[in-house]
A and B are shown apart, each in its own frame.
Chain A
Amino acid sequence: MQKIIEKIMRFHEEEKGSLIPILQAVQKECGYISEEAVNAIAKGIKMSEHEIYGVATFYAQFRFTKPGDHQIRVCVGTACHVRGGEQIMEMVEKTLNIKSGETTPDSIFSLESVACMGCCALAPVMVIDNKIYGNVASPAVDNILSHYRSPNVEE
């Protein structure tokens, strides 16, 4: 982790103005912004870890928990909402026993809600990694998820 961040910092000027590009690069490399990452950035650009965290949490693009192996995104945008997106979300939360924005303790799934995937005709939509599941019905959720639980599933 430390090494990756040091490498990233080398490409950026050591000043406050480059904070967001640094955060983006860290998220791209590590998948999320960890506490260690914030500390390392703080040292590099002479800002307090709290200020950096403040900036990072302002933007929806940054995440602060380690993502799971499989990224579940449930759409709760207008069309999906009308077609029952909320219920799909509830079902996924219940099945995995985590809330939106969290990762399962076994690090297999992480869950987040999105506002629109751009395929409203398929509403309600759920996306796992890059595979789109359209017209999802609540009872089907368990089945879809179990497909990813076995270790041989590739992205």
Chain B
Amino acid sequence: MLTIDGKEVEFREGATVLEVARDNGIYIPSLCAHKELSPFGACRLCLVKVENMRGFPPACTTPAARGMKIITEDPELRNLRKNVLELILSEHPNSCLICDQKESCEKYYICPTKSGRVTGCTFCPARDRCELRKVTEYLGLKEIRIPFNYKDLPMEREDPFFDRDYNLCILCGRCVRVCQEVRGIGAIAFTKRGHDTKIGTAFGKFHLDGGCRFCGACVDVCPTGALSARGSKWHGLPEKEVTTTCALCSVGCRLKLEAKWERVMAVRPDEDGPVNHGQACVRGRFCIPALVNGAERLKYPLIRKEGRLVPADWEEAAELVAKRLGSYSPEEVGFLASPFLTNEAAYLLQKFARIGTRTNNIDIASAFSGPVIDAHVRRLGVGAGTGTIEDIERAEWIIVIGADVLTSHPVLTVSINKARRQGTTVCLIGPENDIILRMVDSLVPVQPSGYLPLLSGILKILVDEEAFDKDFVARRCTGFENLKRSLLDMDLEEIIAPCGLSVDRVKGLASQILKSKRGCILYGSKILESSNPQQVIHLLFNILLLKGSHSGLIPLRIEGNEQGAGDMGALPNFFPGYRDVSDKDAVSELEEAWSAKLPAETGASYSEMIRAAGRGALKVLYITGGWMPDQIHLPQIDFIVLHGIYPSPLFEIADVVFPSVAFTEEDGTITSLERRVQCLAAVVKPIGMALPDWKIICLIAEKMKVEGFDFTSAEEVFNEICRVNPLISGYGIWSPRTSAEFALTPVEDSVWKESEIISEKMPLHPLYYRGIDITEKVQDLKLVYERILGE
């Protein structure tokens, strides 16, 4: 209990005076404090009076204590704050802030003049969001008695994505702190001191050379116009702002998309996002407008006539596809589901494949489809990981294997970083890199070929030293004796020899796992380059189980809705909810739900379909996107249908092209790598005549007179999914399993069939969206990624 402005309030242990005030609805002006950052005490605006404390302590750095009597506002404090603000403004262009004509100027000068130099609010891109302005207005400052000192620093515009004008900087240090504390990168720092202090880089080098990942966190926390996103700074205020889920990778960040003139023009991370908490990455923060607004976006359906793709209307195109699809036998037709389809579209696509064309030839065109999903289904009954992003933050140890998570899933590093600050040991098994070196406790440079030997070695140490959770293993696991037996005859030195590490190093690594309990394992697509990816997953799961928990395994899926597409049954061997196509109960239940007959045989996988197409066994390929080999050569195929948002190399062989929508233009749901089902909300209307994928499928089904596709909204489709799919009951994280027992698998040299992987040339980095290389649409991203991948 303490007293603040005469009011007695309770407070949380460890809270600062500023936090207590805010929790109780008392506003104290401040510029450097930020809820995600540690207290700093730079701006001196939050000065308060505390009884029996000398001077005026800043509220943001003073811990609340029992019995404190705090005054947050009186004439003396107000005067003091005005003086402090005057000092701040003496080095920040301030003429507009105190101008007599301010009101009428704001009214009639609605468009900011595009000026090279910001000399007042009228010319400042941040004026509508400027916190300095809000504070000035709150304090009612009308006069600045100190002569203005313009720092006259050069504008910094050489780097990608954002401009820096440090003449507007008030040195609050938020950008430095967010980069160091939250993102763990430290790409900027305070340099020099006194009057010469400036936010900068070592030796003034470019941010591109200094390890910056351009996540934009610094731009988002800047209280002034010093940092601004170049692409959107002059658009003014948006006409509308819609919160949706980013589909560019599988983390599931919630983003606020700003639109004007029916175009997405800027993006800000949503502070209430359950996963990202106000953070984003270079792709989500800066690339979406350019990606979805390209002039070459497909606007109308195309059909091939006399060898050329020519515009057509929906009726004609859908009619043609319906006619052709109906004229082939089921085993001659194949469907490729894009891992960027919404759950609704993926669900309808597999439903259409199964009851419209009566084939199970459907697969997701992505890296983790096939073997990886199968491995998970074998262990858990579902093709999903067991961990959530919250598990990362709660873990005592974290292993990241086969992924450059900072590049592929930048926002996850925020969680990893948070865990590490709380004392979690983070170990990365993968390539060496300076920045990552700072973000982990140990970095084990092992090539994918060494993953199996290394993991077998760790398992052997865990079992030999009996450093596993005996109670959990006895209670919840089967197969421990088999595992133990398989390790018994192995010699540690011999097992780990291929991974190129010394026994001591592996023991050191294992000891970090030995000493703590609850863990989390994130694996990335590089495990596909190991000699047996499925076995890698089994061994990783073994490690988790031995440490007493089944949860914590997270596959670092690349594409936005690969998880959801699998959950929806866009797989050759599984119905929605990973129910096997040979499962009689599942078949009869679905036949009843869909009132149609289902095909009996397991379908062809991605690679099987491509091979079948090559030798002429597959006649029709229905491609909704996803990754395709560069030089696809399918002379034997009769008919190719394509969904797309941009022209692509597949145009050369497609017979019908349907213009689809980007995720910013449709409603629906997608499922993140932690199995979190989240909404997409249409920010703008589809471009031209484009339609959402699920509507296109419904249209064709209608033309083919297939029942069960008369949906009028994505929500209706989602409702059917909730009825049919046992895993999905609504939004939020769906539970992978509640069952009691987990199998430990023995370590063995099982053989891996190379051909099961979809292609060795498949790019294992997340630069693609619906078959489009994002770097081709966003030049700045190309610069950033060339630098990152070139390291």
* Bound-complex Cα distance A20 to B438 (A): 19
Render A28-67 as a binary contact track against B, CB cut-off 8 A, 1 for contact.
Answer: 0000000100100011001111111111011000001000
* Bound-complex Cα distance A19 to B211 (A): 20
Instruction: Check if B192 sits within 8 Å of A42, measured CB to CB.
Output: no
Which residues in A have their C-beta under 8 angstroms from that of B434? Answer: 42-43
Of chain A, the residue at the smallest CB distance from B211 is: A48
B196-252 contacts to A, CB under 8 A, are 200-203, 210-211
Of chain B, the residue at the smallest CB distance from A64 is: B203
Instruction: Check if A50 sits within 8 Å of B437, measured CB to CB.
Output: no
Which residues in A have their C-beta under 8 angstroms from that of B186? Answer: 47-48, 50-51
Which residues in B have their C-beta under 8 angstroms from that of A58? Answer: 190, 192-193
* CB contact under 8 A between A49 and B210, given known A35-B202, A35-B203: yes
* Bound-complex Cα distance A35 to B202 (A): 8
Which residues in A have their C-beta under 8 angstroms from that of B210? Answer: 49-50
* Bound-complex Cα distance A52 to B188 (A): 10
Instruction: Check if A46 sits within 8 Å of B438, measured CB to CB.
Output: yes
Instruction: Check if A43 sits within 8 Å of B437, measured CB to CB.
Output: yes
| Size of interface on B: residues with Cβ below 8 Å to A | 20
Instruction: Check if A46 sits within 8 Å of B211, measured CB to CB.
Output: no
Q: Nearest chain A CB to B437's CB is how many angstroms away?
A: 6
User: Would you call B187 an interface residue if the criterion is a C-beta within 8 Å of the partner chain's C-beta atoms?
Assistant: yes
Which residues in A have their C-beta under 8 angstroms from that of B595? Answer: none
Which residues in A have their C-beta under 8 angstroms from that of B180? Answer: 48, 51
A-B residue pairs in contact (CB < 8 Å), sample of 17? A35-B202, A43-B437, A46-B438, A47-B438, A48-B211, A48-B438, A49-B210, A49-B211, A50-B187, A50-B188, A50-B210, A50-B211, A51-B180, A51-B189, A53-B201, A53-B202, A57-B193
* Bound-complex Cα distance A42 to B188 (A): 14
Q: Nearest chain A CB to B473's CB is how many angstroms away?
A: 36
* Bound-complex Cα distance A19 to B27 (A): 40
Q: Which of A35, A42, A49 has the most CB of B within 10 A?
A: A49
* Bound-complex Cα distance A47 to B180 (A): 10
* Bound-complex Cα distance A38 to B191 (A): 14
Which residues in B have their C-beta under 8 angstroms from that of A49? Answer: 202, 210-211
Of chain A, the residue at the smallest CB distance from B212 is: A50
Instruction: Check if B203 sits within 8 Å of A53, measured CB to CB.
Output: yes
Which residues in B have their C-beta under 8 angstroms from that of A52? Answer: 202
Known A48-B435, A58-B190; further 20 A-B contacts with Cβ < 8 A? A35-B202, A38-B203, A43-B434, A46-B437, A47-B186, A47-B438, A48-B180, A48-B185, A48-B189, A48-B438, A49-B202, A49-B211, A50-B188, A50-B201, A51-B180, A51-B189, A53-B201, A54-B191, A57-B191, A64-B203
Which residues in A have their C-beta under 8 angstroms from that of B188? Answer: 50
Which residues in A have their C-beta under 8 angstroms from that of B191? Answer: 53-54, 57
Which residues in B have their C-beta under 8 angstroms from that of A38? Answer: 202-203
Q: Nearest chain A CB to B678's CB is how many angstroms away?
A: 33
* Bound-complex Cα distance A52 to B187 (A): 11
Which residues in B have their C-beta under 8 angstroms from that of A54? Answer: 189-191
Which residues in A have their C-beta under 8 angstroms from that of B192? Answer: 57-58
* Bound-complex Cα distance A114 to B482 (A): 76
Q: Which of B185, B187, B202, B203 has the most CB of A within 10 A?
A: B202
* Bound-complex Cα distance A55 to B191 (A): 7
Render B399-435 as a binary contact track against A, CB cut-off 8 A, 1 for contact.
Answer: 0000000000000000000000000000000000011
* Bound-complex Cα distance A75 to B201 (A): 31
